[in-house]
């Protein structure tokens, strides 16, 4: 019978030595005065650019510098709470990095971390690009709430143009910055990552799980907090984009004031109703510009099946997300303006329901579930702006989700001003013509407006401005005239 003598065995594993304290910062640009971490420099002043590795945090919290005469170690004194998991992960995997820092009275303040190639050592999933992706996500997030047992949480988010596509990069992201995700998405991501790595499910299921993770994790999931907007600047943008429409502008400014008071988006979006060509889409783009949000469009006239919006289930081999989820993915941000064009032209599906009614969950700001993603997507940062020509064709439940603004057609006098002050100068500027090189007489302008008096909107006037400018440019370049003045006769011949 074997006998085991444990008297000479170690009494236990070494107790981890934690040398650092945590500080909480929301700075988005690290500097020596607002660093990522601080190292002990009482032993010596460290170089501005220093290479080495973080030690395994389960044994000691320090950084090993690669010096000319060997290695030297310095304890970590302070760490920005957002970076604790990242630095621990770098240490566990012995990732070689280059620190940029400055020696100050309280230590060596590190404000930049870059990965460096070192022999055959472990590399990140996308080398330094991936590390900078993680760091930017962490820097753009808010400081985490202090925890009683030590903060090792990561805040909100932001990223760059790099996509998380490979399973390794997704795994690394979840390890280093998973807690920057909303709680519902974090739980969903962990489950799908388990599926993507499992060998107990089919290859098709693993592929769908990995694709869904790539789509969701590449989106910057932001909070519903909105910074204040300058009403004066908002008014300037509206005046620059739109002539007249004082009631419409007033309603938009009221919305801005409401956002400034609550720092959240209004509960209702805007529904702009009016004849074609009256500038409804232009108003929507102006609002997106004022809110400083990315925007995406949904053209309801081309959607005839609700599944186009909600996506298809993963049980199908050719399953894919819906248009709404793809819009989030294209914007790469959870806070955005949804411009829903031609809401009144949303066709009823072939026995599958009305596509327009799918928008109800998106408009309620409670969350939207895509059949492919299989996760409740937060929509608190979505601001919908819809356009329609005939509101009688919109269902009552859908109408109740919007603040309706009727856009009247322009009067003949307004059309004259818009053509002479906005449409024609805009085209001339784009073609590189001076305003005096292409002008129109008052009589010709009256004739032009009368020609389109029964046409709604100003699109015909804008097309005419394009025609006049192109003709003037032709005469200047080919006939070598210095300027062109269109009178009523010339206008009639040109538009005949």
- From first to last of its 496 residues, what are the pLDDT tens digits of the chain? 344 333 444 444 444 467 788 899 888 899 999 999 999 998 889 999 999 999 866 666 889 998 888 888 899 999 999 998 888 888 888 888 999 999 999 999 999 999 887 654 445 555 678 888 888 888 888 777 766 544 344 433 333 444 678 888 898 888 888 888 888 899 999 999 999 999 899 999 999 999 999 999 988 888 888 888 999 999 999 888 877 788 888 989 999 999 999 998 888 889 999 888 788 888 888 998 999 888 888 888 888 888 888 899 998 888 999 988 998 888 888 888 989 988 888 765 555 667 877 788 778 777 888 999 998 888 888 899 999 988 888 888 888 889 898 888 888 888 898 888 888 998 999 999 999 999 999 999 999 989 888 888 788 888 999 999 999 999 999 999 999 999 999 988 888 7
Burial group, residue 115, by CB count within 10 angstroms (0-12, 13-18, 19+): buried
CATH fold label, 231-406: Rossmann fold (3.40.50)
Q: What pLDDT score does 148 carry?
A: 53
CATH fold label, 412-495: Helicase, Ruva Protein; domain 3 (1.10.8)
Q: What pLDDT score does 188 carry?
A: 94
- Whether 173 contacts 218, CB under 8 Å: no
- Whether 403 contacts 268, CB under 8 Å: yes
CATH 3.40.50.300 residue spans of the chain: 231-406
CATH 1.10.8.60 residue spans of the chain: 412-495
pTM: 0.65
Q: What pLDDT score does 125 carry?
A: 52
């Amino acid at each position: 019978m074997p006998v085991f003598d444990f008297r000479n065995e170690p009494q236990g594993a070494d107790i981890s030595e934690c040398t650092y304290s945590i500080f909480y910062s929301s700075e988005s640009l690290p500097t020596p005065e607002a660093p990522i971490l601080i190292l002990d420099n009482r032993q010596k002043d460290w170089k501005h650019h220093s290479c080495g590795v973080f030690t395994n945090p389960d044994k000691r919290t320090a950084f090993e510098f690669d010096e000319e005469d060997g290695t030297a170690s310095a304890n970590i004194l302070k760490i920005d709470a957002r970076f604790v998991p990242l630095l621990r992960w770098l240490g566990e995997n012995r990732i070689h990095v280059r620190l940029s820092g400055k020696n100050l009275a309280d230590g060596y303040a590190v404000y930049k971390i870059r990965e460096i190639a070192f022999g055959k050592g472990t590399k990140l999933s996308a080398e330094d690009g991936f590390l900078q992706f993680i760091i930017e996500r962490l820097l753009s997030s808010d400081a985490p709430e202090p925890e009683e047992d030590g903060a090792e949480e990561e805040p909100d988010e932001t990223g760059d143009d790099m996509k998380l596509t490979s399973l390794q990069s997704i795994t690394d992201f979840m390890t280093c910055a998973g807690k920057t995700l909303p709680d519902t998405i974090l739980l969903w991501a962990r489950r799908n990552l388990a599926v993507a790595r499992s060998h107990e499910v089919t290859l098709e299921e693993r592929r769908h799980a990995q694709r869904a993770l790539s789509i969701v994790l590449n989106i910057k999931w932001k909070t519903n907090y909105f910074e204040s907007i300058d009403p004066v600047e908002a008014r300037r943008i509206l005046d620059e984009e739109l002539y007249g429409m004082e009631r419409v502008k007033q309603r938009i400014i009221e919305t801005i004031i409401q956002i400034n008071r609550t720092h959240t988006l209004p509960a209702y979006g805007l529904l702009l109703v009016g004849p074609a060509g009256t500038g409804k889409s232009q108003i929507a783009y102006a609002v997106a510009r004022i809110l400083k949000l990315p925007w995406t469009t949904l053209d309801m006239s081309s959607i005839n099946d609700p599944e186009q919006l909600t996506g298809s289930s993963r049980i199908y081999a050719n399953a894919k997300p819906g248009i709404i989820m793809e819009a989030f993915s294209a914007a790469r941000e959870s806070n955005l303006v949804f411009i829903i064009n031609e809401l009144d032209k949303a066709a009823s599906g072939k026995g599958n329901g009305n596509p327009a009614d799918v928008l109800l969950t998106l408009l309620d700001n409670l969350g939207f579930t895509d059949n492919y993603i299989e996760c409740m997507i937060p929509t608190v940062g979505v601001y919908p702006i819809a356009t329609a020509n005939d509101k009688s064709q919109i269902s009552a439940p859908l109408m109740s989700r919007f603040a309706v603004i009727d856009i009247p057609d322009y009067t003949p006098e307004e059309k004259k001003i818009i053509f002479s002050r906005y449409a024609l100068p805009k085209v001339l500027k784009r073609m590189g013509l001076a305003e005096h090189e292409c002008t129109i007489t008052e009589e010709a302008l009256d004739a032009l407006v009368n020609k389109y008096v029964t046409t709604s909107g100003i699109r015909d006037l804008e097309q005419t401005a394009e025609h006049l400018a192109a003709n003037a440019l032709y005469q200047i370049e080919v006939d070598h005239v210095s300027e062109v003045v269109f009178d009523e006769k010339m206008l009639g011949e040109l538009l005949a």
